[in-house]
Amino acid sequence: MGFVKEFKEFAVKGNIVDLAVAVILGAAFTAIVSSLVDDVVTPLLLKPALEAANVEDLEKLSWGAVKYGKFLAAVIKFLIVALVLFFLIQAINRMQRKKAAEVAAPAIPELTLSEKLLTEIRDNLKQ
């Protein structure tokens, strides 16, 4: 098999394409989470703490030369991403359990005419 053909088969495998899509969606999701933290969470929840520290931006928090504001912002972003992923995985697992329960309960097949007759004969013989 030629090098080009092998590379083509490798590059267009489903797993590679799925991974590429996941990376692109992850980058877009990062922008959403960054905006959520910077534009919603920080002003609503952290505003009193920032005002007490006389700081307008979370990332500008510092203690001398140590700028811990960027670290704090990164931790908050991580926690939000983890929480969103937790809810997403929880919903997926719930749907899979529901689907598995539907598959696990097999439907009782309807008896054919000969099976019905044999069942009646068996029941009559018991009596």
Pick from 33, 14, 118: which is nearest to 81 by CA? Answer: 33
- Determine the pLDDT at residue 24: 92
How many residues does the structure list for the chain?
127
DSSP code at position 57: S
- Give me 126's structure tokens: 């018991």
How far apart are alpha carbons 37 and 52 in whole angstroms?
A: 19
The domain of 10 spans 3-126
The count of domains in the chain is 1
- Give me 70's structure tokens: 């960027």
Tens of each residue's pLDDT in the chain, 127 residues = 688 888 887 777 767 778 888 899 888 888 888 888 778 877 787 778 778 777 777 777 778 888 888 888 888 888 887 887 888 889 989 999 888 877 776 667 788 888 888 899 999 999 8
- Determine the pLDDT at residue 106: 67
- Determine the pLDDT at residue 14: 67
**Sole residue written with tokens 């991403």:** 81
Contact 50, 58 (CB under 8 A): yes
CATH of the domain at 52: 1.10.1200.120
Pick from 1, 24, 20: which is nearest to 12 by CA? Answer: 20
